[in-house]
Amino acid sequence: MIGSGESLGEMLAHAWHILPFALMFALPVVLLGGLALYLLRHGSLASTMTILVLIPVLATLIAVLGISGFMFTPALTTMTLVCLLVALVTVPAALVLGRAIARRSVWEREARERERAAEASRRELVAWISHDLRSPLAGIQAMAEAVADGVVADPIEVTGYARRISGETTRLSGMVGDLFELSRITAGALQLTMAAVPLRDVVSDAVAAQAPLADQKRVRMIEYANVWPVVSGSDPELARIVRNLVSNAVRHTPPDGTVAVQIGIEGGEALLAVSDGCGGIPDDEIGRVFDVAFRGTRARTPERGGLASGGGLGLAIAKGLVEAHRGRIGVQNHGPGCRFEVRLPLAMP
């Protein structure tokens, strides 16, 4: 305990005298710690936090030992034990804190990436709506005005215009329906009425529905199965999944190509595989085929000639519906085209 101002001055003078020696012993520890931090700059946050905690503790301990000449007096022994106890408490705390901060940083980074991806999808969707909805509307308006103004008066031409207007209206109705379905999926408002559904009936109906388009394009469709599984799902949504995949395959398969639909059981799950002859998907695009409004390059763009292309929502809807059934969907290049695989849970016996 300090008894007078004179003793305080003596203590300050003594501290000032030993300060250079304390810095001389502590500085190498600090430099080594800084070097360790630099070498581990790409390492884990937990290791960085541990080094940051150890640097001042070890620097203090080495400085005290150096100044005392490593003569272990009771005061020095007490100081050493205090430093060791501090290290025993702070190092585990630094590890736990570093891991917690690292997990939060990873979560925040993933959240930012998801937000950027969602924003990119929204921009693509807006661009899709402005183009693919505006174009048929402009055509319908032009044809309707031509008929109303008498520019087209021949009955045969009027009938042709009416047929084209009807076709564009049907196409627009399908796009609006896709948008509504996608909005239900993304908003989590999709309500499924689960039941045991024979996959054979769903696939047969979807293949039959796409037969006229396949005949028009001269695309051969085949379906085969080693076993017809019964899945747990909602019949309308399962039909939508198969219909979207089959229609997508038919649209992107060139004339005289083949679309194959395979059904079976694999790994305790129902397997639905749809293979086409699209020519394959570039490696830098195959991870985006299920994104909203993504169409890819010309390798998967149908030739012009009257067959309306899809709006880029079919595969996104199929993915959302598959995941709503607690299933999985994927795609890979296979043979002359690509192969979409859907795995769904089997119905309980």
| 318 and 211 share one domain | yes
The torsion defined by the Cα of 233, 235, 238 and 240, in degrees rounded to 10, comes to -150
**Quick one: tokens of 122?**
């929204």
Whether the CB-CB separation of 315 and 289 falls below 8 Å is answered with yes
**Beta strand 337-345 with 195-198: parallel, antiparallel or unpaired?**
unpaired
Q: How far is CA 247 from CA 79, 250, 259, 314, in A?
A: 78, 5, 10, 9
| 101 and 223 share one domain | no
- Spatial CA neighbour of 136 closest among 157, 177, 159, 165: 165
Task: Evaluate whether residue 122 is within a structural domain.
Answer: no
**Other CB atoms closer than 10 Å to residue 89's CB: what's the count?**
11
Q: Provide the CATH number for the domain around residue 288.
A: 3.30.565.10
Enter the pTM of the model: 0.58
Task: Evaluate whether residue 170 is within a structural domain.
Answer: no
| 213 and 92 share one domain | no
Q: Which of 41, 71, 106 is the last residue of a domain?
A: 106
For residues 328 and 231, what is the distance between their CA atoms, to the nearest angstrom? 13
**Other CB atoms closer than 10 Å to residue 7's CB: what's the count?**
11
Number of domains present in the structure of the chain:
2
For residues 36 and 213, what is the distance between their CA atoms, to the nearest angstrom? 67
- Per-residue pLDDT 10s for the chain (349 aa) are 444 444 666 656 656 666 777 777 778 878 887 888 778 777 776 677 777 777 777 777 777 777 777 666 677 677 777 777 777 777 777 777 777 777 777 777 877 887 787 677 667 666 666 666 777 788 888 888 888 888 887 888 888 888 888 888 887 887 777 777 777 777 677 778 889 999 988 998 888 888 888 998 899 999 888 888 999 988 889 999 999 999 999 989 999 999 999 999 988 899 999 999 988 888 888 888 887 766 665 444 444 333 444 456 788 889 989 998 999 999 999 888 999 999 999 987 6
Task: Evaluate whether residue 160 is within a structural domain.
Answer: no
- Spatial CA neighbour of 259 closest among 295, 218, 200: 218
| 73 and 200 share one domain | no
Q: Which of 70, 86, 106 is the last residue of a domain?
A: 106
Q: Which of 106, 131, 152 is the last residue of a domain?
A: 106
Q: How far is CA 302 from CA 217, 278, 295, 335, in A?
A: 11, 9, 10, 19
DSSP 157-200: HHHHHHHHHHHHHHHHHHHHHHHHHHHHHHTT------EEEEHH
Domain that holds residue 237: 193-345
